[in-house]
Amino acid sequence: MTAKPLLQWTPPEQGPAIGPDFDALMMRVDEVIASGRRRIREWIVAQGGEQLAKSFDRRGVATEPAAEQWQRGDKQRATDLVRSLHPAMAAALGAPRLMADFEHWGRSAYFELSEALWLSFGLEPAGIYEGRKLSIVKKDSTDLIDQYALRRAELIRRRFNPDGYDHRVSPTELLAWVQEVELDVHPGFAAMLADMVARSKDIAVEPPPGQAAVEGSSKFDDREKRSLSMLLVALAITDHGYQPNQARSPIPKEFEDMAARLGLELTRETILKYLRLGASQLPEGWEPLDL
């Protein structure tokens, strides 16, 4: 990448929202760019029109050694700057395909945790800049932007994936958490989540033909909950090898993924809750070997 693409970039209306240090870092980059532009203007003015006409052809290509050396050096400085930018900084300057496509992600049934992390900053999770994948951050990085991303990643892990099951999160869960802890996120991300949740609430489920909706029928009584939880745990044990006494079972995550593939929003916590309720109905002294 050279200086030419940098000059052609158009900064987004709303840049990344990635921590309190980001604006200060961008101010330094802006100062470097402004300094470079001043240096170019000053050199051009110092040369004068007649000398410039001798030093460059109509295409702007240097024709004299001194001009060629200056041009090569200035391009190298610009290239070094572009290559040194963190992807988030490049996104703020307008590098293509780095800002989040909220229209696309707003159609997703769920988010991987790494996707939720970068989208919360307003950045494209799959973004690549100068050969660096945005989503790959070294844990020992000393970069301020990386450190901020790692801290937020840990918050997300503690909330949605404490047991290490590579948890996926629904828009409803994510929005509730963002609002609960007053997380500082990109405005586009917050708007996308709010729109997704609103759309899901607007979808009405019609009763089968000939069957009228019964007021209050959407609420299960305790007996129905126990019955369904017993059915759930029976299927989990017999068909999926679920062991109720296992400290960390992968089955809730498997069930969550099964539901997600069907477009159903079920959290691992909810599934685990009803598996435990069903398991509590098993006969006293029950052991898996009884099957």
* Distance (Å, whole) CA 94 – CA 7: 10
CA pseudo-torsion sign 74, 79, 85, 88 = positive
254 shares its domain with 183: no
pLDDT in tens, the chain (291 residues): 444 465 677 888 888 998 888 878 777 777 766 666 666 676 677 777 777 776 777 777 777 777 677 667 666 666 666 677 888 888 888 888 899 999 999 999 999 999 999 999 999 998 888 777 777 788 888 888 889 999 999 999 999 888 776 678 899 999 999 999 999 999 999 999 999 999 887 654 455 555 544 444 445 567 777 888 889 888 888 888 888 877 778 888 888 888 888 888 888 888 888 888 888 888 877 776 544
Residue 215 belongs to a domain: no
- 274, 266 contact by CB (below 8 A): no
Residue 170 belongs to a domain: yes
Q: How far apart are the first and last CA of the chain?
A: 64
* Distance (Å, whole) CA 122 – CA 102: 8
Q: Please give the residue range of the domain that contains residue 240.
A: 222-290
* Distance (Å, whole) CA 140 – CA 146: 9
Query: Which amino acid makes up residue 112?
Result: E
31 shares its domain with 66: yes
Query: Which amino acid makes up residue 118?
Result: W
Instruction: Specify the number of domains making up the chain.
Output: 3
- Final residue belonging to a domain, choices 93, 123, 158: 93
Residue 207 belongs to a domain: no
- Final residue belonging to a domain, choices 58, 93, 128: 93
Residue 109 belongs to a domain: yes
251 shares its domain with 184: no
